[in-house]
Structure 1
């Protein structure tokens, strides 16, 4: 019985992940906007400092951030420069990530709800225990899926790098193998603390909000309203809450995971806190909400597809 929740959650997550992958790619590209200008090579910084007498890089007129395209302009830019297939860059990593991460978190959440429920079926579980179950499930799922998550971020970001700096991974397996070969096995869990924190926030806000919203609708309209309309309304609410709660952590996670670490050179960020501070200092607090519209645009459809698919899969597998 316990494995059923993992299978149902895994199927729904893979369907949702593949369906909304282009939206996730746009979100990642927007979250990385502004990095390249701020971190010019030391020689460039020195020359500019000597020429201008100004030590603060963000103030250099020559390095002012150019206008950044919005979601629609970014899609047009990708289509023009990289082609339609680029919108699905890293989709193999998305499939692996959802198979590892979401299968684990959704299955474990289902198991813990049933285990902690007085009735043993997940019903009448207090909200604080639902939140606790979601936090545990999200943390475990993120730890399991971190290598695929990092590969996905790098594959999605590759197209906006200069040609000489692109990694050009052939697949998620190639991305993971080359990362291990060039940066070591531990690099697959770079940013894992951020991934775990984000997953705990997303899982708690998404799954618990969905359960609470669905329960509230059913109480108001009756059990007969347990259909597509209720599932869509509850999942929209869950997607909005999850997007608002997770975006700052997601921005930092994306930047840390995409960071190149070269032998003999210090990394751009020493950790999550350093990344967050540098981002806020150079780009302002609202930089932590970069890509929020794409995040919401992706999280909303993803959550709808996830839960609508999950409810349908549950119906199909109810006799197993």
Structure 2
């Protein structure tokens, strides 16, 4: 096989990543909704420690001001267009391209290599357990390689929601990475890497294994032939499973990567577990599924474009 699986997977991943980037940006913005700035968080903590006044009637207007209704994905998208312009929906697309080149090319190529190596030589089939194992390994390695681009992408996508004085204003993925290294040290490029690896293992195992399993089941049961319809159904099924499995880790990953660390101040989160605990305490358990609608709205089309493109690329390169 050589590098063919990496090339096929890389091309398909870049096409899928760029075409669904606006949905990913909306997802990131929604995952950060309700996250208080560090100063506000400290003030809330101090206020919570003060003894409550007796016979105090809650002020409904104050409660509403503290917890305003959160907009949905369409509202978030329209808000971005109104405030930042339509081009803002593609903020961070250079980081997406680098991320797909590093992360997805690696995971797709490694998964394909392991699938071919581990498949039954007589039937060409691979048991589901081995598919999941291959996905876990490929996803973890790919994520570790692509983490710097992932951090840059999250920060660039989140920048527009910050006040003008606090924005990082990265000019591109290269500028983002160089500024992080200069200002925060090279270790900042692997901030949240444990979460990135965990998410990637979950996504790759559920996405690739589900696609292969669904495709085999559809063709094997005579429901459809090996064509576009089968590829679309199998890939959308894979996207749904991957979104459900990975969303909680994705929310925590987004917040840890995006947190602003100020010298002399304690960081907003001490780590992934601390972020998860603070998020659930402040916003409830369902906060871990914040941004799920845009996640599935993005994961579905992304997975469909990914596998449909992959199948077409394989046809083009079948003689190479």
TM-score (normalizing by structure 2): 0.93
Q: Which residue of 2 aligns with 1:205?
A: 206
Q: Deviations over 1:119-155 (max 9, x none)?
A: 19x9211111111111000000000000000000000
Q: CA deviation at 1:187?
A: 0.8
TM-aligned CA deviation for residue 114 of structure 1: 1.3
Report if the CA contact (8 A) 1:202-1:246 is conserved.
yes
User: Following TM superposition, by how much is the alpha carbon of 1:304 offset from its aligned partner in structure 2, in angstroms?
Assistant: 0.2
Q: Which residues of structure 1 form unaligned runs of 5+?
A: none
Match of 1:80 in 2: 82
Identify which of 92, 98, 101 aligns with 2:100.
98
Partner in structure 2 of residue 142 of structure 1? 143
Q: Which residue of 2 aligns with 1:119?
A: 121
2:142 matches 1:107: no
The answer to whether the Cα contact below 8 Å between 2:252 and 2:272 also exists between their aligned partners in 1 is yes
Hey, what does 2:285 align to over in structure 1? 285
Residue matched to 2:57: none
User: 1:29 touches 1:160 (CA, 8 Å); kept in 2?
Assistant: yes
Corresponding position of 1:247:
247
Cα drift, residue 286 of structure 1: 0.2
Give the structure 2 partner of residue 218 of structure 1.
Answer: 219
Distance 2:297 2:217 in 1: 24
- Which residue is equivalent to 2:231? 231
Q: Distance in 1 between matches of 2:46 and 2:165?
A: 23
Q: Is the 8 A contact 2:118 2:126 kept in 1?
A: yes
Deviations 1:281-301 (A, max 9, x none): 110000000000000000000
Q: Give me the whole-angstrom Cα distance separating, in 1, the residues matched to 2:14 and 2:191.
A: 24
Offset at residue 47 of structure 1 (A): 7.3
Q: 1:254-302 deviations in whole A, cap 9, x for unaligned?
A: 0000011111111100000000000001100000000000000000000
Q: 1:64: how far off?
A: 1.2
The alignment's C-alpha RMSD in Å is: 2.2
Q: TM-score, normalised by structure 1?
A: 0.93
| 1:39, distance to aligned residue in structure 2 (A) | 5.4
Q: Is the 8 A contact 1:37 1:65 kept in 2?
A: no
Aligned pairs (5 A) from 1:115-194: 115-119=117-121, 123-194=124-195
> How many corresponding residue pairs?
314
